[in-house]
Amino acid sequence: MAKVLGIIGGGQLGMMITEAASKMPEHISKIIVLDPTENCPASQAGAEQIRADFKDKDAIIELSEKSDIITYEIESGDSDVLKYAERNAEINPSPETLKIIQDKLLQKSFLKDNDIPVARFIEVRDIGCVRAGLKEFGYPALLKARRDAYDGRGNFKIGSEDDIQEAFDYFKGQSLLLEKFVEFKMEVSVIASRNTKGQIRTYPLVENIHEDNILRMTIAPARVTEEIARNAELIASKTMTVLKGAGVFGIEMFVTQNDEIIINEIAPRVHNSGHHTLQSSETSQFEQHLKAILGLELGSTRLLHPTIMYNILGSKSFEGKYRPIDLSEPNVYLKMYGKEVSKPLRKLGHFNLVARDNETVEQLLAKIETLKEKMETKPL
């Protein structure tokens, strides 16, 4: 029997999950999203919407009563409320997995305890802990909020003793951890999936370029040796084995100066660095996520051709309605998220540039340079 799928969050990730679900009518009959924004992206793709805050307890319970299975596109859900909602609907990834991941300190401790490499870190209970940590692993270091961080806004870099007080005051009363700063060579990620029966599949390693702490583009495959890629994919696989969550997970990593891989953080959901799979793979990460939570056999994760995903971000110089992005180029697949208003660095859409006829990643990067200007948002 086809199931009703509930999604907490109806932004672009919820939208692309909804689109993938609509191609599986034999498994999913209806999609309902919980999102506070009127006419949210997922509702534009055909999902029914419960309009409420992501943390609204009654709304989450209502969603669970109307759904057979629940998943999410944001990791800030209240895991206790979700635990309660589990009596009405199956929830994947499970509230237990979510609870570990949504707290960076619990997440890093969990990884470390399972011998998965992470940067050195310590729990921060007061400013004395910050000083003790800095003494232990030196400058620079990052003070990080344990919860609800995104786009790097929960991080403060401490470069010298003079920054300690300012960094500590910046977070006013939040729970924190201190982490050694990693002088990485490259930021990479693995989109990993595990279905409810325990089958695990990882997508090939990709390279992530950030600007202003926001993902600018993803290069698939990452420009690293086969050995580094294999190692990263093995670490991702091991993480999925110990974590036991079902669904797709975005595992962000660093390649260190010694070509070691260490995990930065895990997102318990489909991930921006996996959008290339819409064109680069037989199975997109969105379809894979649905297969995983429904307990279906996972799809192929093989990379069919090099692909670059480029994020279309709101211009830094204005806020308001913007001119439609017009991009019609061979081998370019534009996906806009239906957001009416542009805000500085808001994620409004992305495109995938796909290699044809043995084009190399370097050639794709040169093409991106010529397309950048067309991607600028301008006021309407």
Alpha-carbon distance of 78 to 82, in angstroms, equals 6
The residue to which tokens 């859900």 are assigned = 77
Q: In the complex with ligand ATP, which residue's Cβ is closer, 6 or 77?
A: 77
Q: In the complex with Mg ion, which residue's Cβ is closer, 252 or 359?
A: 252
Among 130, 265, 273, 310, binds ligand ATP (CB under 6 A): 265
- Residue 34: φ, ψ to 5°: -110, 120
**Six token digits for residue 318:** 């204005």
Total residues contacting ligand ATP by CB under 6 A comes to 18
Write the secondary structure of 248-312 as one string of H (helix), E (strand) and C (coil). Answer: EEEEEEEECCCCCEEEEEEECCCCHHHCCHHHHECCCHHHHHHHHHHCCCCCCCCECCCEEEEEE
Alpha-carbon distance of 285 to 276, in angstroms, equals 9
End-to-end Cα separation, the chain, in angstroms: 46
Sign of CA dihedral 164, 187, 148, 83: negative
145: burial class by Cβ within 10 Å (0-12, 13-18, 19+)?
A: middle
Q: In the complex with Mg ion, which residue's Cβ is closer, 56 or 252?
A: 252
Alpha-carbon distance of 36 to 51, in angstroms, equals 5
Provide the minimum distance between the beta carbon of 252 and ligand ATP in the complex, in angstroms, as a whole number.
6
Q: In the complex with ligand ATP, which residue's Cβ is closer, 153 or 316?
A: 153
Provide the minimum distance between the beta carbon of 104 and ligand ATP in the complex, in angstroms, as a whole number.
7
Site string for Mg ion, 220-259 (x = CB under 5 A): --------------------------------x-------
Provide the minimum distance between the beta carbon of 265 and Mg ion in the complex, in angstroms, as a whole number.
5
Among 181, 209, 318, 336, binds ligand ATP (CB under 6 A): 181
Among 32, 42, 119, 143, binds ligand ATP (CB under 6 A): 119
Q: At what angle do helices 12-21 and 285-294 cross, to 10 degrees?
A: 70
Site string for ligand ATP, 134-153 (x = CB under 6 A): --------x------xxxxx
Q: In the complex with Mg ion, which residue's Cβ is closer, 23 or 153?
A: 153
Provide the minimum distance between the beta carbon of 268 and Mg ion in the complex, in angstroms, as a whole number.
13
β-bridge partners, 335 = 350
Site string for ligand ATP, 69-108 (x = CB under 6 A): ----------------------------------------
Residues in the site for ligand ATP, rule: CB under 6 A? 119, 142, 149-155, 179, 181-182, 187, 210, 213, 252, 264-265
Residues in the site for Mg ion, rule: CB under 5 A? 252
